Amino acid sequence: MVITRDPIVLDSPRALARLITRVERGGQDAEEVMRRLGPRPLTGRVIGITGPPGSGKSTLVDRLVAVARAEGRTVGIIAIDPSSPFSGGAIMGDRVRMLSHSGDSGVFIRSMAARDNLGGLAHASRDAARLMDAYGFDLIILETVGVGQSELDVVKVADSVVVVAVPGLGDTIQTLKAGILEIADLFVVNMADRPGADRTVAELRTMLNLGGVLPWGSPVLQTVATEDRGVPELWDALKRHWEHLETSGELAMRRRRRVETEVVELVERELRRRLRAQLEAGGELAGVLDAARSGELDPHTAAARIIERG
């Protein structure tokens, strides 16, 4: 396949949507889009919003967008939705909950199916965020489908990660501490008008003090997103975090690390694809795998031989 190097055209929301659809489909077509985009430096700010299901992330994002728009900032939203068990497509609840922005030309909302990705983000979300940045959005928000021990991929995309907790969902700290505390830049206890909110805030602050993480002194904020309470304070905290990232040089460092991770992951993905193709085609490598299956070789020896001969 001949890959054209002509620059991509991002002159309308429809053009942006079509390009995101192409990267979401994956394969060589997605690679063509991103190669044509080229090595553009990111100019916008990327926020990741993650937290347990039912914590009000979508409502919080909706209100946060309203605050950003009041300052004249344009916003692109990538909402990672649960997948339909029948079609594999996104169950687009987030698009429905953000209808207040549907007629705003300064807001672009894209729902993407999580499918089988356990990282909380769709495989194409990183490329979609880059396309939105190239389109010119000042702010890009990624809302994950939920959190868990494996759902930490938001840190691979976002400049600022907001972890949302809520009182009344069982042991909040047990839900969050498996790696989530380490990736968060800000914490929000949403639905703070519920009983137990103060306890949840205290537990989070205790865990942060014990862990010795978050050297910038990340605040634990309280919001009632349905009433817009605490949302302006969250927006101000995000702006303070961006200022910290820039003045400390951490923003450039984070973005360099993310590019390095992305390159390694793309290489690993392609190597896995080529290995699978060779194994399915038969031949010497398939014979090594068969020897491992039959017990003639241990898995480590088989893997070493495949690497040597692959």
DSSP state of 4: P
Whether residue 235 is predicted with pLDDT greater than 90 in this model: the reply is yes
CA dihedral sign, ordered 106, 79, 229, 182: negative
**Architecture of the domain delimited by 38-248:** 3-Layer(aba) Sandwich (3.40)
Whether residue 114 is predicted with pLDDT greater than 80 in this model: the reply is no
Domain ranges of the chain: 38-248, 261-309
Q: What is the pLDDT of residues 75-104, one digit of tens each?
A: 999 998 764 433 444 444 444 555 567 778
Q: What is the pLDDT of residues 175-187, one digit of tens each?
A: 555 566 777 899 9
* Cα atoms in the 13 Å half-sphere on the side-chain side of 301: 9
Q: What is the pLDDT of residues 137-150, one digit of tens each?
A: 999 999 987 655 44
pLDDT score at 177: 55
Instruction: Retrieve residue 305's tokens.
Output: 């031989």
pLDDT score at 287: 94
pLDDT score at 153: 78
Predicted TM-score (pTM) of this structure: 0.84
Mean pLDDT, rounded, for 251-267? 91
Mean pLDDT, rounded, for 27-46? 90
The CA–CA distances, whole Å, from 105 to 122, 154, 163, 259 equal 25, 26, 28, 30
Name the amino acid, one letter, at 268.
E
Q: What's the whole-number average pLDDT of the chain?
A: 83
CB atoms within 10 A of CB 182: 13
pLDDT score at 239: 95
Q: Is residue 131 a contact partner of residue 20, using CB atoms and an 8 Å limit?
A: yes
For residue 143, what are the β-bridge partners? 49, 79
> Rounded to 5 degrees, what are φ and ψ at 77?
-120, 130
